[in-house]
């Protein structure tokens, strides 16, 4: 390592480096707090001024970070939030935690990463370490981000150091958190890898080195493709077994007793969250450059994307059979807006796809979610912004022809819902798991 790299390493070891975390969402905020707990002074950057105000007031908007944990770091003067990106010029370590969505054509949208890299380029401290955490296709760090940072004539490995370390956050998972999840680390060259590893080793319990950023990028996408493909498999089996009169959840539970060679995955109304519905398409897009087909991955995506339509077809059949009503004349209550149980995270939630389908058929609908009282602004579902969660009461249930359970939050009165007699389309096997059954409960 050069003398400059050694000095950068010493600053990280001694916790005299200032760490900048860009993007204070589900990934960035827990990392910022963990870095502050690790002894670093941390500047958190976000374009959302309301988030900045909230954090500086010691109020967290993410379940994984408590107000107490936030306030401890604020009181110790180790954590500050800002929308002034010129302060990046004071940062020795900069971590990019911004979204990487898809376009409407399901192609990668690197706008946030590119804009962030341009902002860093204009405020880059000499010999700073820049790390990308946002999930993306292999070679992004070494081409897109590196290319932007080098536009001023600075050279990676000499004037600054560059790495990639994929986020592995799982909202609502109480067993693992930012500190306890093993961290994949990589760098553009040996010096960068050493610096990236030292920074994360100061923050998390375990790091795992890989040879290059492109390997780390491929690792993250592989993890999510693995889940996407297996979820698609059980979703397809659900449709097949339902036609055969076989309970797919009973099949999965029975298969899960095998102590080797099997890992249970469970069907649902579609995929949600910022990873599984999106990340596989980053690889399929990049694979086209190499003229390599990705039929398996794309088929899994098609199956998962099509699940809301399967739920709707089940609803339509049961409405006709049990209520003698058409879908267009029915009033539907959607139970759960979050993409998974016990979290308020609505990113890519299949509930929105179901809302869209109901709207297209002229159905009236409302929703209840104890963790999402009001639908906030979203990039893709502005038409629902401001819609409020209705109270879940017997009177509310009586005002609807059917209920679609899309998210099986623990904090729902399943016995009351089942006893109401209203038609229930259970996409999570939530009622059967609680020993509740009835002619009004159909699974989809």
Whether residue 244 sits in one domain with residue 381: yes
Tell me how many domains the chain contains.
2
Whether residue 247 sits in one domain with residue 188: no
Asked if residue 307 belongs to a domain, the reply is: yes
H helix or E strand, kind and range, residue 41: strand 41-45
Residues 311-369 pLDDT 10s: 999 999 999 999 999 999 999 999 999 999 999 999 889 999 999 999 999 999 999 99
Instruction: Quote the percentage of the chain above a pLDDT of 90.
Output: 89
Distances (CA, A) of 118 to 289, 352, 373: 25, 33, 37
Give the strand pairing for 161-164 and 183-187. antiparallel
Tokens for 232? Answer: 């698609």
Q: At which of 211, 245, 270 does a domain end?
A: 211
Residue 48 contacts residue 58 (beta carbons within 8 Å): no
Asked if residue 156 belongs to a domain, the reply is: yes
Whether residue 281 sits in one domain with residue 333: yes
Residues 432-441 pLDDT 10s: 999 999 999 9
Residue 135 contacts residue 170 (beta carbons within 8 Å): no
With a CB cutoff of 8 Å and minimum separation 6, the contacts of 331 are 363, 364, 365, 366, 399, 400, 401
Q: At which of 180, 211, 242 does a domain end?
A: 211
Whether residue 136 sits in one domain with residue 33: yes
> What was the pLDDT predicted at 272?
83
The CA-CA-CA angle for residues 42, 348, 171, to 5°, reads 45
Q: CB under 8 Å, gap of 24 or more: what pairs does 390-397 form? A: 390/333, 390/366, 392/335, 392/368, 392/416, 392/417, 394/420, 396/333, 396/368, 397/333, 397/422
Tokens for 252? Answer: 């999965």
Whether residue 276 sits in one domain with residue 179: no
First to last CA, the chain: 58
Whether residue 170 sits in one domain with residue 21: yes
Whether residue 238 sits in one domain with residue 194: no
> What was the pLDDT predicted at 173?
83
Pick the closest to residue 164 from 195, 191, 196, 190 (CA basis). Answer: 196
Q: Which residues carry out catalysis?
A: 275
Residue 119's domain spans which residues?
3-211
Q: At which of 179, 211, 243 does a domain end?
A: 211
pLDDT at 99 over 80: yes
> What was the pLDDT predicted at 395?
96
Whether residue 277 sits in one domain with residue 420: yes
- CATH number of the domain bearing residue 240: 3.40.50.720
What's the chain's length in residues? 444
Whether residue 201 sits in one domain with residue 317: no
Asked if residue 219 belongs to a domain, the reply is: no
H helix or E strand, kind and range, residue 335: strand 331-335
Residue 1 contacts residue 191 (beta carbons within 8 Å): yes
pLDDT band at 375; cut points 50, 70, 90: very high
Residue 175 contacts residue 188 (beta carbons within 8 Å): no
Asked if residue 217 belongs to a domain, the reply is: no
Asked if residue 22 belongs to a domain, the reply is: yes
pLDDT at 273 over 80: no
Residues 160-209 pLDDT 10s: 999 999 999 888 888 899 999 999 999 999 999 999 999 999 999 999 99
Residue 32 contacts residue 24 (beta carbons within 8 Å): yes
Asked if residue 126 belongs to a domain, the reply is: yes
Residues 229-268 pLDDT 10s: 999 999 999 999 999 999 999 999 999 999 999 999 999 9
Whether residue 256 sits in one domain with residue 111: no
Asked if residue 405 belongs to a domain, the reply is: yes
Instruction: Quote the percentage of the chain above a pLDDT of 70.
Output: 100
Asked if residue 47 belongs to a domain, the reply is: yes
Whether residue 155 sits in one domain with residue 295: no
What is the rounded CA–CA span in Å between residue 370 and residue 142? 43
Whether residue 180 sits in one domain with residue 43: yes
H helix or E strand, kind and range, residue 333: strand 331-335
Q: What is the mean pLDDT of residues 379-407?
A: 94
């Amino acid at each position: 390592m050069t003398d400059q790299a050694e000095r950068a390493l010493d600053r990280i070891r001694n916790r005299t480096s200032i760490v900048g975390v860009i993007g204070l969402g589900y990934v960035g905020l827990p990392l910022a707090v963990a870095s502050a707990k690790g002894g670093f002074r941390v500047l958190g950057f976000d374009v959302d001024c309301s988030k900045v105000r909230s954090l500086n007031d010691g109020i967290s908007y993410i379940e994984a970070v408590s107000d107490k944990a936030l306030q401890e770091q604020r009181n110790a003067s180790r954590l500050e939030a800002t929308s002034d990106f010129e302060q990046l010029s004071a940062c020795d370590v900069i971590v990019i935690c911004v979204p990487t969505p898809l376009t409407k054509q399901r192609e990668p949208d690197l706008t946030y990463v590119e804009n962030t890299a341009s902002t860093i380029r204009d405020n880059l401290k000499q010999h700073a370490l820049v790390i990308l955490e946002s999930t993306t296709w292999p070679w992004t760090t070494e081409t897109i981000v590196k290319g932007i940072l080098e536009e001023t004539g600075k050279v990676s490995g000499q004037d600054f150091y560059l790495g990639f370390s994929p986020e592995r956050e799982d909202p609502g998972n109480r067993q693992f958190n930012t500190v306890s999840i093993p961290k994949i680390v990589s760098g553009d060259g040996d010096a960068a890898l050493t610096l990236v590893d030292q920074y994360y080793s100061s923050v998390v319990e375990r790091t795992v080195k890989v040879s290059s950023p492109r390997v780390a990028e491929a690792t993250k996408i592989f993890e999510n493709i693995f889940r996407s493909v297996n979820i698609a498999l059980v979703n397809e089996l659900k449709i097949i077994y339902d036609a055969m009169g076989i309970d797919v959840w009973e099949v999965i539970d029975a298969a899960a007793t095998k102590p080797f060679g099997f890992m249970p995955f469970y069907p649902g109304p579609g995929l949600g969250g910022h990873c599984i519905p999106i990340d596989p398409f980053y690889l399929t897009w990049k694979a086209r450059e190499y003229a390599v087909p990705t039929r398996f991955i794309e088929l899994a995506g098609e199956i998962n994307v099509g699940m809301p339509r399967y739920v709707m077809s089940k609803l339509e059949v049961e409405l006709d059979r049990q209520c003698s009503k058409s879908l267009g004349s029915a009033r539907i209550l959607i139970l759960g807006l979050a993409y998974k149980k016990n979290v308020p995270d609505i990113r890519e939630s299949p509930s929105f796809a179901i809302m869209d389908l109901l709207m297209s058929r002229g159905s009236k609908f409302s929703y209840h979610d104890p963790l999402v009282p009001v639908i906030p602004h979203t990039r893709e579902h502005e038409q629902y912004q401001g819609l409020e969660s209705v109270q879940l009461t017997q009177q509310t249930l009586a005002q609807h022809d059917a209920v679609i359970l899309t998210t099986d939050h623990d904090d729902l009165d399943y016995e009351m819902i089942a006893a109401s007699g209203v038609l229930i389309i259970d996409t999570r096997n939530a009622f059967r798991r609680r020993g509740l059954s009835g002619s009004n409960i159909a699974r989809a």
